[in-house]
């Protein structure tokens, strides 16, 4: 079953903070498999091979069935797990994170490390941004050209987005309709065109909406 909606990062990115002279650089990436997550983690490790630690965490799958955390040499449970907890607390899916640490000479202690790695991920998520991906049906409405102006006006004034218009023998409008609303949308189109529209669901796709952190 495909999720009707889920949250993930808006885009891949990074964010750096300084804590007690240590540099914490957080890298975020969208991933769709464990293999992608591992490739991303290895690429950051290669880029920062001189860093003291490259700690990582990721959540993948509709129910976050794949979850991993790695402390990369930090005391057990002080880096990867707090990073993973931030991803889970934000209810994110298909997201991998690496926090690269360059030690600044001041030891933070267990509690300090947990706070530092957790804060690094939180601040990076705020900087990069989070989106909600909402499942939509792509509904094709085929009508005589005389209906085009009216339909375009009505659709542009509604919550539904026109994905594409095909200028064929009849004009066909591909409209993004939130999954679960298709029956109501079909009735609306049928009523508006006096039953003269041919309406069919073509496919499904996710539409992204920005979430204010």
pLDDT of 1 reads 52
On whether both 124 and 23 belong to a single domain, the answer is yes
Nearest-angstrom CA–CA distance, 162 and 174: 6
The parent domain of residue 29 ranges over 5-128
How many domains does the chain divide into?
2
pLDDT of 212 reads 63
* Separation in Å, CA 41 to CA 12, 52, 54, 117: 13, 15, 8, 16
Question: CATH number of the domain that 177 lies in?
Answer: 3.30.70.240
* Tens-place pLDDT, residues 25-53: 999 999 999 999 999 999 999 999 999 99
* Separation in Å, CA 151 to CA 76, 168, 175, 212: 60, 16, 11, 32
Query: In sequence order, what DSSP letters do the residues of 145-211 get, joined into one string?
Result: GGGHHHHHHHHHTSSPEEEEEEESSSEEEEEEEETT-HHHHHHHHHHHTTT--EEEEEEEEEEEEEE
On whether both 95 and 18 belong to a single domain, the answer is yes
* Mean pLDDT score of the chain: 94
pLDDT of 139 reads 97
Q: Does the pLDDT of residue 213 top 70, yes or no?
A: no
pLDDT of 106 reads 87
Query: Residue 186: beta bridge partners?
Result: none
On whether both 123 and 187 belong to a single domain, the answer is no
* Residue 8: DSSP 8-state: E
Question: CATH number of the domain that 73 lies in?
Answer: 3.30.230.30
On whether both 124 and 22 belong to a single domain, the answer is yes
Q: Does the pLDDT of residue 132 top 80, yes or no?
A: yes
* Tens-place pLDDT, residues 69-119: 999 999 999 999 999 999 999 999 999 999 999 998 889 889 999 999 999
Q: State the virtual CA torsion across 157, 131, 11, 33 in degrees, nearest 10.
A: -120
Nearest-angstrom CA–CA distance, 145 and 152: 11
Q: How confident is the model at residue 64 (pLDDT cuts 50, 70, 90)?
A: confident
Domain termination site, one of 128, 151, 179: 128
Give this prediction's pTM: 0.84
Nearest-angstrom CA–CA distance, 115 and 108: 9
- Kindly report which listed range (13-27, 114-128, 199-213) carries the lowest average pLDDT score: 199-213
């Amino acid at each position: 079953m495909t999720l009707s909606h889920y949250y993930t990062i808006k885009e891949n990115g990074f964010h750096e903070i300084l804590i007690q002279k240590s540099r914490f650089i957080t890298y975020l990436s969208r991933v769709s498999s464990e293999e992608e997550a591992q490739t991303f983690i290895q690429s950051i490790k290669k880029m920062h091979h001189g860093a003291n630690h490259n700690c990582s965490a990721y959540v993948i799958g509709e129910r976050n069935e794949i979850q991993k955390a790695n402390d990369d040499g930090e005391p057990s449970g002080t880096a990867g797990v707090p990073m993973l907890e931030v991803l889970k607390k934000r209810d994110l899916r298909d997201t991998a994170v690496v926090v690269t640490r360059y030690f600044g000479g001041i030891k933070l202690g267990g509690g300090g490390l947990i706070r530092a790695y957790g804060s690094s991920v939180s601040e990076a998520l705020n900087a990069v941004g989070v989106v909600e991906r909402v499942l939509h049906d792509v509904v094709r409405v085929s009508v005589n050209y005389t209906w085009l102006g009216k339909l375009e006006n009505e659709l542009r004034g509604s919550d539904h987005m026109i994905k594409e218009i095909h200028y064929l023998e009849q004009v066909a409008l591909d409209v993004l309709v939130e999954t679960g609303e298709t029956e109501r949308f079909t009735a609306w189109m049928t009523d508006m065109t006096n039953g003269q529209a041919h309406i069919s669901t073509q496919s499904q796709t996710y539409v992204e909406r920005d979430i204010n952190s």
